[in-house]
Amino acid sequence: MKIEMESTNESLANAHEAACKSFFCAAMTSKRAMEDFALALDLMRSYWFLIYIMIDLHFGEKRQNT
């Protein structure tokens, strides 16, 4: 489970970095701004969804152990 959490944390960090890069790229360019902004929003939504899953898995294990 620890290896799985570490790889999930790494993928979350990568998703967050990609979302930030897309967001700032969207702010700097005018031609592809809407496409990049939409991509950044999609990546951030995925990022927060993964955090929700991690929290649910963590507290779900605690509920099962008690």
Residues 34-62, mean pLDDT to the nearest whole number: 81
- Rounded CA-CA distance 48/52 in Å is 6
CA separation for the pair 8, 22 (Å, rounded): 21
User: 27-47, pLDDT tens digit by residue?
Assistant: 666 657 777 778 888 888 888
What domain range includes position 54? 2-65
DSSP letter for 31, please.
Answer: T
- pLDDT of 1 > 50? The answer is no
- The whole-model pTM stands at 0.38
pLDDT for the residue numbered 12: 67
Q: What's the pLDDT score for residue 30? A: 62
pLDDT band at 58 (very low <50, low <70, confident <90, very high): confident
Tell me how many domains the chain contains.
Answer: 1
